[in-house]
Amino acid sequence: MTTAQGARARARQEVTAAIKEAARRQLAAEGAAKLSLRAVARELGMVSSALYRYFPSRDDLLTALIIDAYDSVGEAAERARDAVADAPPPARWIAVCEAVRDWALAHPHEYALIYGSPVPGYSAPETTVPAAARVGMVFIGIVRDAHEGPGLSGLSLPADLRPEGARMVADFAADVPPEAAVALVAAWAQLFGLIGFELFGQFNRVVEDRETFFRHAAGRLAEGVGLGRG
């Protein structure tokens, strides 16, 4: 790459980053459903036609923001896992849950974008899947490590649900027992339900000591996937 090409690439990266930041501010102010390329261009002092060279449509910009958000929370989960790599599986599980909650509280509008109400008229493309899977893969890895090490406990699965559990294992949870795969999906949904209730106000006048409450609930989720309380 020539010096000129490198300078152009850096300039494009800088403009792309500025567009995304302006779009995030618009998300915070208006919500994802009202995201507008024209409004972003106006905030940045750009003509719309110039912005379209970076993001040809609103959906392209939304997709970029969604991937960034999934990658950001995924990185938070992976850092938390790595920071307690030598801890017992339940402690690793709880640390990751707390990291995901902390990220959500620090990035409420990005959390709402990826875990809130669907954006009308938008359908996420397959390119979002790898980033979206990062948090789940961290949890699956913790359960897999426990299964291959100290073992899982307290798991069962009705016979009529076992084929679904086997499909989950084949699709995304290799080397995990079917009963653990089903429990993982339920725990994943419950975790984001807990975080969403806190973030969107459903715990107001219900839960006061939310940090202690969340840690207890995360421990119960660890039990639910067979890790025990630690």
pLDDT at 183 (0 to 100): 98
| Predicted pLDDT at 188 | 96
CATH number, residue 25: 1.10.10
Mean pLDDT by 10 residues, the chain (230 residues): 64 89 92 90 89 92 96 98 97 98 97 92 94 98 96 96 98 97 97 96 96 97 91
Q: Are residues 50 and 87 in the same domain?
A: no
What is the pLDDT, as a whole number, of residue 230? Answer: 60
How many whole angstroms separate alpha carbon 203 and alpha carbon 197? 6
Q: Are residues 25 and 128 in the same domain?
A: no
Structural domain total, the chain: 2
16 burial level (CB within 10 Å; 0-12, 13-18, 19+): middle
pLDDT of residue 100: 98
Report yes or no on 230 lying in a domain.
no
Write down which residue in 56, 81, 103 finishes a domain. Answer: 56
Are 44 and 22 spatial neighbours (Cβ–Cβ below 8 Å)? yes
**Domain limits for position 145:** 63-224
Cα angle 194, 195, 201; round to 5: 95
Domain check: are 109 and 166 in the same one? yes
DSSP for residue 201? T
Among 171, 176, 158, 191, residue whose Cα is nearest residue 226: 176
Same domain, 102 and 147: yes
Q: Note the pTM of the prediction, 2 decimals.
A: 0.92
Number of H helices and E strands in the chain, helices first, is: 11, 0
DSSP 128: G
